[in-house]
Structure 1
Amino acid sequence: MTADPIDQALFPPFDDAAGFDRIRADLGAFLPAIRAVCERHGLAASGLAAFERGTNVVVSNDAGQIIKLFPPFLRHQFEAERLALGRVHGNVPVATPEILREGELDGWPYLVMSRLPGRTLEEVWPALGGAERAEALARIGEIMTAAHALPTGGLESLDLGWDAFVERQIAGCEGRHRRMRLPERLIAQIPAYLASARPLLPTSVIPVLLTGEYTPENLLVTQTGGAWRVTGMIDFADACLGPAEYDLLGPCLFLAAGSAELQRAFLVACGTGIADADLTPALSRKLMALALLHRYSNLGYQVRIEGWESQASSLSALEQLIWPFPVR
């Protein structure tokens, strides 16, 4: 990695993480830094466009490259993306970005990556029929299985430290969901609910590589013969090591969204040992507890079932709304 003394004016000022998020997608604010990266590495600085969504500064050029700037307080995400991409690229049955360059500008680490073709699954999901949705979820399960089978040596810095992590998440669970504006009637039930689910949670796990990105915004699809197929996966800044079950939540919440058949299509395709006989209320409770404890849990955004807030009078009811097992 190269590091040169660079004028601070390359980067706009901001007071805190919230201030950074407000300007993150403003190409003009980061144009001096982007141009400096392009000049340093001989990249095209034409056709620059900033991506609106995300956590870091992500800009594309017209040469099929992505420049991703990480603010100093998100250096851990740079390390996670760099390590995870180095492990999955070429080793899973889906395209992932290739890291072309990496470096640092005045304390801001960055990556230059190849840009993948396709549209996000988020864009096309509403138009997909039931069979296409089931095929997409089975495909995601296949990709996930391959990622979980990769060796984790050299990735130890990404380890969540699962048992201690769970204790911290339990301690902060009510506070987090109050900040995320979960209905108070549900927040009040969290301690008892988690106590009931505690024996179901994974413990003393042998960690696998979790990308954290099996969500429709970070899965790319292309159309072949009139059908959409998952062909790419992007954004590995949240990658970590932990139990395989932790990766199941994105597809279950964002995509299967209350359909028992779609949940089955995904869960049985994953390499976590789940079979039809395992699609039980106990599995529903385990996954709901993991969803509550997830480090980025925000059920108001993640649960894609219209009107679920009025339908779920309790966490148990919400659990069955999302994961209506057993499949009959």
Structure 2
Amino acid sequence: MPATGRFVPKAGWVSRVWVGDEYVVRLSSGKYRDAYRHEALVVELLAGSEVPHARHLAHGDGPDGPWYISERLPGRSLHEAWPAADSDTRQAIIESLGAALRALHRVPVPAGLLPPWLADAFAGEPWPAFHPPVVSETLQQVEAARRLPGHDTRLLTDVADWVQERLALFASDEPVLVHGDLHGSNVIVDEGRVTGLVDFAEALAQPADVELDTILRWCAKAGEFPPTPDGRGLDESTLRQVPGWLHGAYPELFERENLRERLNFYDMYVELALYAHHPEPDIREAAQHRIARLLSGHNHLEGLVW
């Protein structure tokens, strides 16, 4: 890297970031084991594809923690650009996002691709995050919840039956490369188009419509997706047309049979992971209430139109 140049520091949820004219430097807290190594592997898979992304330059471990250097993409995050954009520009951005996702889901992916930190969580280590959904691990989250002191036995019995009844929905799925955490902070845009998808620390091999879990959650509950822990999310009312615009640009993503039930299943996985593994009792209690609502057919997807 050059010894001179201007770098602007930015905060994040897990990493500290320095944005330069040509390069972006990230320094991780180390909470997500081998996250940068995993991201470098995924970005290597994107080489030669039509997926807009930041080229990986180097990564490693230093005395201050894991670090990652990539090229600087033109533009700024969708979260930053969205409030001032007019409706036509917003639609163009989401249509460009649809094209980027279609290209991503066509990239050949190794069978069973999984972030190392998530594999650790499945093996019994602490959970640093509770998404993206992993269909094959859903019943295991029910069993993990059953090991909680004071768990709701009847609720979890109903959940286990609910999950078993729906596993057949995924029997014929072909896993694709899924970003796993797509929302306003992980999409870079410039002049009404997506210049890059960033932060592939949660990328994995899953059904393509797993991508919709975070996207639609972001549209319905944007306040829960600020760029930093002390920041503010976007105004949810400005995101109402996003699902419809995305459907128009990438209709295949929405054309799976029983899509609503599949999306409910992904939501159930996330709530189960929170209920079984989150360290804060009030968060676990809130997840339990949302699980009960899901069993009765209600969740954040109500009111979303695509």
Q: Same fold (TM over 0.5)?
A: yes
> Aligned ranges for residues 170-209 of structure 1 at < 5 Å?
170-172=142-144, 192=158, 195-196=161-162, 198-199=165-166, 201-203=169-171, 205-209=173-177
Q: Report what 1:149 is aligned to.
A: 106
Aligned counterpart, 1:99 = 56
Q: What TM-score does the superposition give when structure 1 sets the normalisation length? A: 0.61
Mark the CA change 1:206 to 1:283 in structure 2 (over 3 Å): closer, same or farther.
Answer: closer
Distance 1:274 1:261, change over 3 A: same
Determine whether 1:56 maps to 2:15. yes
5+ residue gaps, structure 1, are 1-41, 177-187, 299-312
Report if the CA contact (8 A) 1:137-1:251 is conserved. no
Mark the CA change 1:288 to 1:43 in structure 2 (over 3 Å): closer, same or farther: farther
Alignment of 1:126-145 (within 5 A): 126-145=83-102
Does residue 318 of structure 1 match 2:291? no
Structure 1 residues 239-267: Cα deviation after superposition (integer angstroms, max 9, x where no partner)? 12222121112222223779886424324
Structure with larger RCO (C-alpha < 8 A, sep 6+): 2
Which amino acid in the other structure matches residue 266 of structure 1? L
Residue 320 of structure 1, CA deviation: 4.8
Query: What corresponds to 2:124 in structure 1?
Result: none
Look up the match of 1:34.
none
Matched AA of 1:136: I
Change (3 A) 1:167 1:250: same
Cα deviation, residue 216, structure 1: 0.7
* Counterpart AA for 2:246: F
Q: Could you tell me how far 1:219 is from its partner in structure 2?
A: 0.8
Q: Give 1:220 deviation, angstroms.
A: 1.4
Shift of 1:215: 1.0
With over 3 angstroms needed to count, the CA separation of the structure-2 counterparts of 1:117 and 1:54, relative to structure 1, is: farther
Aligned match of 1:252 in 207, 216, 219?
A: 216
8 Å CA contact retained: 2:145, 2:272: no
Distance of 2:35 and 2:172 partners within structure 1: 25
Q: For the aligned residues, what is the CA RMSD?
A: 4.4
The AA in structure 2 aligned to 1:43 is P
Match of 1:265 in 2: 245
Q: 8 Å contact 1:150–1:208 — kept in the other structure?
A: yes
Q: Indicate if the aligned counterparts of 2:93 and 2:189 stay in contact, CA closer than 8 A.
A: no
**Which 5+ residue runs of structure 2 have no aligned equivalent?**
120-133, 149-153, 222-235, 275-291
- How far off is 1:89 after superposition? 4.3
Q: Relative to structure 1, is the Cα distance of residues 126 and 271 closer, same or farther in structure 2, using a 3 angstrom cutoff? A: same
Give me the identity figure in percent.
21
Between the aligned partners of 1:88 and 1:216, the Cα distance in structure 2 is 21
8 Å contact from structure 2 (residues 217, 300) kept in 1: no
Q: CA deviation at 1:150?
A: 0.7
Q: CA deviation at 1:189?
A: 6.7
Which one of 34, 42, 66 corresponds to residue 84 of structure 1? 42
**What aligned pairs does 1:19-38 form with structure 2 within 5 A after superposition?**
none
